[in-house]
Chain A
Amino acid sequence: MHLDEEQIQRVVHRELTLSERATADEHLTHCAECQSRTVAAAKCDVETSELLRYLDAPLPSVSADAIIARAHVRRFTWVQKFAATFFVVSIGGVAWAASGSPIRLFLNSFAERLRGSASAPVNSPGAAPSVVAPVPELSGISYQPGQRVIINFTQFQPRGVALVSISGGTEVVVRAEAGAATFSSSGDTLTINNTTTLAHFEIEVPRSVARLDILVAGTRLYNRTGTRATAPDSALVRDTSTLSLARPDRSSP
């Protein structure tokens, strides 16, 4: 019985076990036909391999170390991406939660602007004075006063507010949103040319000032002489007064 094609191929390719190989060799010793088929199969195998070499190009020079490095880089990159995301989210969270966070102020301001553009104008007549979201840009004035200070707002403001506080400092300080007013001082008088309908003024006056008068369009709103303060149309809370810059309504009871 002759070797079949599978056996001949396995002889050529050395894919036989030792016992199978012994059996095949024994047969090939006596069988010229199988010898011939085996030689032809081996020849075909070699020639095919030779022909396939025509397909070859020079092999690239790559080291196992380079592969290992690449494998580590990929793994590290994944971890790095996760860590970077975690880091950014953490920093963002801390920045948001911190008191006085500029990120929160910015976002609040941005949201306020969006709301303002989407809904009715904030400055609509008749609306109650609203607390404006923190505005990063302020304007104002500060100077060393004498014994007397007169602060004169040039006109009434329907929704203007002045927060007056007596400070332990040495300077008169007035702050407002940028563009709300212009300031000038001459002698004892500080003139605030308030041109808008809405403004929020913060006024600090040193306790050392003997007399302080605050007027709006020539009408006195506030007087402080020594330690005694009078502000008939406004609330007085110790050293702090909140003055409305609106025209007083004398018709109401």
Chain B
Amino acid sequence: MKSHDAAQSAVFSKRAVTASISLTTRRSSDDQFVELFNEQHPRLVRYIGRLANDFELGADIAQSAFVRLYQRGSVPDAPGAWLVTVAMNLLRNAKSAEQRRHRLLTVERAERVHADSAPSPDAAVQSEEAKQRVRRVIRELPEREQRMLLLRAEGYSYREIALALDVHEASVGTLIARAQREFRQRYEEGSHAP
């Protein structure tokens, strides 16, 4: 019995590799979904929000991805990677759609909300500069390194990253190290620039 419970919980762990489990088994499907949602939703919003540089869009896309997961009726092998893949497809669609241009107008509003929490004018200026630099460096990175960096920062496992980005799991660590070096190097260059 214990081993069965352990297997059940492992499905929803970050390293879940087990076969799909029907949402109708044992616990109610909604309970399983809520558990998965609570575990995956914040980091998916952050990942897409950082990637799109638009947290409102990130939130919309994350919601849509979870709606699709619910309507799917069963939990995929690696739910984290599945959600990331679906969300990235949705982001690609949103970027190509006209509404994307409209949504970009809301970015500044989100930035203002974020900046309002700064403790002092000096800190706010420094924070704003750093933010702009980070944003610029991230934007300039190659797409794969960009995503690698952001997925790792959200704690996605090597397997989830490999599945989401379609790379060999055995080389994920090396790719992450390369992306981090690239990011740090460009960031430092930007901070010393006149």
Contacts and interface: CB of A to CB of B under 8 A. Distances in A.
Interface of A: 5-10, 13, 15, 41, 44-45, 47-49, 51-52, 54-60, 62, 64-65, 67-68, 70-71, 74-75
B85 interface: no
A162 to B, nearest CB: 69
A60 B177 contact: no
Q: Which label, helix, strand, loop or mixed, suits the secondary structure of the A interface?
A: helix
B116 to A, nearest CB: 10
Contacts of A65: 34
B50 A48 contact: no
Contacts of B181: 44
Interface in B179-194: 180-181, 183-184, 187
B70 interface: yes
A55 B70 contact: no
B134 A51 contact: yes
Given A52-B150, A57-B114, A59-B46, 13 more contacts: A45-B180, A49-B153, A52-B138, A52-B153, A55-B131, A55-B135, A56-B50, A57-B111, A58-B113, A59-B42, A62-B62, A71-B70, A74-B67
Given A48-B184, A54-B134, A9 B176 contact: yes
A55 B173 contact: no
A67 B111 CA distance: 26
Category for how many chain B residues contact A: 35 or more
Nearest to B38: A64
Residue from B66, B110, B111, B150 having most chain A Cβ neighbours under 10 A: B66
A5 B173 contact: yes
6 contacts: A9-B177, A13-B152, A41-B177, A51-B183, A57-B110, A58-B114
Contact of A52 (B42, B50, B110, B158): B50
Interface in B50-77: 50, 53, 55-56, 59, 62-63, 66-67, 70-71
A57 B107 CA distance: 10
A71 B67 contact: yes
Contact of A68 (B30, B38, B62): B30
User: Nearest 10 pairs between A and B by C-beta?
Assistant: A9-B173, A57-B55, A64-B37, A71-B70, A64-B34, A54-B131, A6-B173, A60-B59, A57-B110, A55-B50
B18 interface: no
Contacts of B66: 64, 67
A65 B30 CA distance: 9
Contacts of B149: 48, 52
